Chain A
């Protein structure tokens, strides 16, 4: 789960990472009130989960109440690279003597956290990483040992931090690492990490990604999930315990197991079709889960045909067949289905489907045959409209 900047900063504040004083606002009036409380000049910042806000005009300095109102009205509702701004963060303007970059990332390849520091922070850190990687000091940390003072010193010296800042920057990195571990993040990034004219260091931005699997241990973080920002079909699927990703096409896909479903999307695409979704019904799905999954798939109005691709291991094909029959009883779908069942209890599953003789349901013996058939059906349905 990606956090918004202000949520990340609130998380930082809980771990004693210095951040500017700020307030959250959902309306222009709230933003103006927040600005008056904080004092001028202050910064009005769009809260969206995408980079490049500054360049898009989503971050503005307000010198007085009138300009706070003007900027808040302009930014709320603004579209930033496909994301609509619904929330603002208003914070005190900081004087900046230098902009650094700091991050802790979950390095899958090395299987250790990677801490990064650069004195060339700011808007163009990606370009720095590309053109002059040596300008970014990096260090892997043994997760069983944790971040030590020498790690901080080494990164600070290697990044070329001014001598008087080596200790405070080291301490800052230590707190950033502690936040990464305590909140079970997979990314904490600060860009820019600023140095003020008074030689204080402060996080001017916060980019945090939390591990969804760990939210059960972090009730405060779990509450940060914003259902209104999610796609309605994806939200519906999540509530039903299904893994669903909405795509642009017109062929609904249901399978069991992430790898097989990904493979199904690919094979459908190879036959010239365009999948409307990824849906992993999961291992050991019972009939009710399948019925519920059909509802989720059909709640997307673009779907013209549906493909079931099941290779039962822990999932039993008879349960899948029962679920489909039940779905037809409950919602009588108007689009054709192609069903391919193999694996545990496949004979029983096919038997159930044969006896139910559902209208517009075709069976296929192989994955390729099923993909070919569903692509043909979707094309026919598309032409008929």
Chain B
């Protein structure tokens, strides 16, 4: 098994006719993901290297049986596209777009919770989801990962690659790699993904990579103590970040005494989660637990 994306994934790409949208949709298809359709309003009837394009998500779902959406449109249009995908009945929506206004994210999140409780949003501002050997939805460079039993969930894309790659170099693979994104209102939290990995047969160990800002890591620590029986190894980026400065991700800001890396690491360790101080150390702890 794996989580969120697999061989059953039928992907529809919003923004498939854009340069980046085309590039990554084709990359995902080459990996083996079933890319069944795309959506670009006004370009219905065209195709992108054989993938049919529709004007609406509703038509794409009706015609191609899409069950997963990847959002690749500019920030101004992204919230609308996510809402359209949900309205069309798509259950897994992966939003790659960076820079979506926070109030848009707030409306989308609350609407999905209220009107589409069965729909799961990953991102926005995330690298997507990779289930090695099965499917890749997003921009994760799949060549660096292989099938295995380590589930990875992270707020940061490149940091995920770094940690995943270090684990791969030590001979271990991944069940799924999930980037939840670095924005203030992610569609899915660490807790949502920890729950999926806990229930996934293939996953034997979970790596969680957090960063400064917000309280998602502290909340995850509580959840792990109460509900996760599999070993969890954590990493927190941003120990050296000064307060009041946004470190690249809209969500990564230390305000007052809130959201510091030290406080997050402490909360996790207090709940029995081992925290690596460098990506390399995270991989070493994971390998030690797995018996490498």
Contacts and interface: CB of A to CB of B under 8 A. Distances in A.
A108 B185 contact: yes
Contacts of A280: 248
Nearest to B169: A366
**B103, B107, B160: most-surrounded residue (chain A CB, <10 A):** B103
Contact of A269 (B98, B110, B139, B240): B240
A259 B182 contact: yes
A309 to B, nearest CB: 9
Contacts of B104: 214
Contact of B102 (A213, A216, A267): A213
B141 A343 contact: yes
B239 A269 contact: yes
B248 A367 contact: no
B184 A143 contact: no
Contact of B280 (A255, A258, A366): A366
B232 interface: no
A235 to B, nearest CB: 15
B110 A112 contact: yes
Contact of A186 (B102, B109, B238): B102
Contacts of A186: 102, 184
A186 B215 CA distance: 16
Given A255-B158, A261-B248, A111 B101 contact: no
Contact of B278 (A143, A213, A342, A368): A368
Interface string A361-385: 0000011100000000000000000
A149 interface: no
Interface in A222-273: 243, 245, 247, 255-263, 265-267, 269-270
Contacts of A112: 106, 110
Contacts of B99: 213
A142 interface: yes
Contacts of B239: 266, 269
Contact of A181 (B103, B182, B209): B103
B247 interface: yes
Nearest to B103: A184
Interface string B74-100: 011000000000000000000000111
Contacts of B132: none
B277 interface: yes
Nearest to B248: A258
B237 A266 contact: yes
Contacts of A311: 158, 161-162, 165
A370 to B, nearest CB: 12
A262 B241 contact: yes
B141 A144 contact: no
A144 B271 CA distance: 36
Nearest to B218: A109
Given A111-B185, A263-B279, A257 B110 contact: no
A272 B185 CA distance: 35
A313 B107 contact: no
Contacts, number: 167
Given A213-B250, A311-B162, A270 B106 contact: no
B276 to A, nearest CB: 11
B5 to A, nearest CB: 17
Contacts of B195: none
Say which size band chain A's interface belongs to.
Answer: 35 or more
**A111, A258, A265, A267: most-surrounded residue (chain B CB, <10 A):** A258
A366 B248 CA distance: 23
Interface stretch (B34-42, B43-51, B149-157, B199-207): B149-157
B144 A106 contact: no
B221 interface: no
Contact of B107 (A143, A211, A217, A367): A143
Contacts of B215: 108-109
A243 B248 CA distance: 6
B162 A263 contact: yes
B211 A259 contact: yes
Given A143-B107, A259-B182, A283 B102 contact: no
B158 A368 contact: no
A101 interface: no
A111 B158 contact: no
A94 interface: no
Contacts of A73: none
Interface of B: 20, 24, 75-76, 98-104, 106-107, 109-111, 114, 127, 139-141, 144, 154-162, 165, 182, 184-185, 209, 211-212, 214-216, 219, 235, 237-242, 245-252, 261, 277-280
15 contacts: A106-B106, A108-B184, A108-B185, A109-B214, A142-B110, A186-B102, A245-B242, A247-B242, A258-B249, A259-B157, A259-B209, A260-B159, A263-B162, A266-B277, A313-B161
Interface of A: 106, 108-109, 111-113, 142-144, 181, 184, 186, 211-214, 216-217, 243, 245, 247, 255-263, 265-267, 269-270, 275, 278, 280, 283-284, 311-314, 342-344, 366-368
Given A265-B240, A266-B240, A311-B161, 15 more contacts: A106-B106, A112-B110, A143-B103, A144-B107, A184-B101, A245-B246, A257-B158, A262-B212, A262-B247, A269-B239, A283-B98, A283-B157, A314-B157, A342-B165, A367-B279
